[in-house]
Structure 1
């Protein structure tokens, strides 16, 4: 019993190279052909098989005129080595594909506004260059996104920030996000003058629900100017503000990017309000202590090179 345990402990350290030689000899039934594939000499291959048999304590091959024929013990070992070798080769191929951007996945956390404003065109450009890369874009609130980064659920987050800081999180600014006051055709005459903020509050206002970060930004803007913000229409998504405004339901407050097409097609109009709403920052967040995939690193590199 003691000898059996000692043998197992000794064999546990047999190198992958020994099993690699065994695999090729068993597959080709020839030490000469295996040597050619492995770029070794035939004596070196024969010696490797001999040493492996000695370490395992049994014969793995019968040497016949037709070549190297597996023994019953050899067949058992080959069955498992075959599966292991194929798995290793598949893993190596997958890794090569990831390195060469032919396989892999990017996991991104974001919020609705950032997807529309900045992330979607960058995902489109990256997909054009690397169509075989899969993408997972998940919606998070701010606390959930930070947790997702630290727990490695996502590679990085792309969100709107003001002056926030987060422990063990790196912040990289992409660009500034401008906000606009917009009106529908019914209020088109409002574009002819410059409005003060305290005049605007006399009109119905369309904004986001109070729990959203973009809404907090607007709340802070009003408070900084001595006013409380009480919109008449509160919406769950930023993308609804423009169509509600186009139908003359009130003055919309929205990231300008969302309204650009509507303004260009004269379905709504931007009005001049003083003081202007401060810009926000579109930022990439990633963990200082978390490692991300090569694919994700390439995506970030493309973002900041653009």
Structure 2
């Protein structure tokens, strides 16, 4: 197959010289602007003309003018310089945290009610150019999408033998949720045996396995009558007197006047934190967010 004369890279300096000649009508001015010699510019133009067998300058005109083919190369130079300028601007914006996106995965209520609003608001004040996209997933699915790189950072209930790199943010614990007027409302703590006889509403959220282990450790099997994902639905069922439940304290909305909250014995603590894989981030913005979160103190004041 015959090789086209234009199949090699175009010399950008010569194309820029043509653009300047088209504006000034002068080879010497173009050379001076580019910081090269006039003979070098003339030689480069001559080599391109010989390579393509086309004239790039209307040499009989004064001042010098470009042919249509020369103007095509001048446009190439302008477009290349614009693309370079835009690319460098994007890099500088990213370096200076003036732009970028962080994909944040959340496991739901505990994060959404108590942790994310304060953290994300503080981050937005510090880096207003970086957008944060929050997506909620069930715990098991969230771990999968984080491992697959579909989110940059996830907020999780941290496991004992955690496989991800984590930043602990806050501590949480499980609490019992009783209907108002329940016989156990006056108790300061509740055991698994205390809740064994009531209809039980089991959460399908991230604390569900912790609840089941808590009962199992006491040798108790709760009378599960409902299995519910949404915290507000659990609260509504308990409020209606349809059973008792156990959920994470930080997942609770304001239940005053609706339900009664009682601590558990033994206590069931859990740690919530941000997690990432060990791989490098896909962009600078997620790294900026991770570094910001790394400065938050466990159980400290509101981030800011």
TM-score of the aligned structures, taking structure 1 as reference length? 0.78
C-alpha distance after superposition, 1:232-268 (max 9, x if no partner): 3321223433344344443331211233633xx4543
For 1:253 and 1:80, how far apart are their aligned partners in 2? 67
For 2:103 and 2:270, how far apart are their aligned partners in 1? 24
- Report the number of matched residues: 292
Q: Residue 269 of structure 1 aligns with which residue?
A: 260
For 1:130 and 1:45, how far apart are their aligned partners in 2? 48
3-state SS, counterpart of residue 107 of structure 1:
strand
Deviation at 1:215, TM superposition (A): 0.9
Question: In the alignment, which of 265, 277, 282 is matched to residue 292 of structure 1?
Answer: 282
3-state SS, counterpart of residue 292 of structure 1:
coil
> Where do residues 85-234 of structure 1 align in structure 2 (5 Å cutoff)?
85-113=81-109, 114-142=111-139, 144-166=141-163, 169-187=164-182, 190-209=185-204, 212-234=205-227
Which stretch of structure 1 is more off in the superposition, 14-23 or 176-185? 14-23
For 2:16 and 2:272, how far apart are their aligned partners in 1? 51
For 1:260 and 1:128, how far apart are their aligned partners in 2? 26
Q: Residue 75 of structure 2 aligns with which residue?
A: 79
Q: Residue 302 of structure 2 aligns with which residue?
A: none
Gapped runs of 5+ residues in structure 2? 297-304
Gapped runs of 5+ residues in structure 1? none
Q: Is the 8 A contact 1:181 1:271 kept in 2?
A: yes
Deviation at 1:231, TM superposition (A): 2.8
TM-score of the aligned structures, taking structure 2 as reference length? 0.78
Q: Is the 8 A contact 1:191 1:272 kept in 2?
A: no
Q: Is the 8 A contact 1:150 1:290 kept in 2?
A: no
C-alpha distance after superposition, 1:151-210 (max 9, x if no partner): 4332122221322443xx43333232222113243238623444332012222333313x
For 1:26 and 1:259, how far apart are their aligned partners in 2? 70
For 1:295 and 1:112, how far apart are their aligned partners in 2? 23
Deviation at 1:290, TM superposition (A): 3.7
Shift in CA distance, 17/293, structure 1 to aligned 2, threshold 3 Å: farther
Shift in CA distance, 238/84, structure 1 to aligned 2, threshold 3 Å: farther
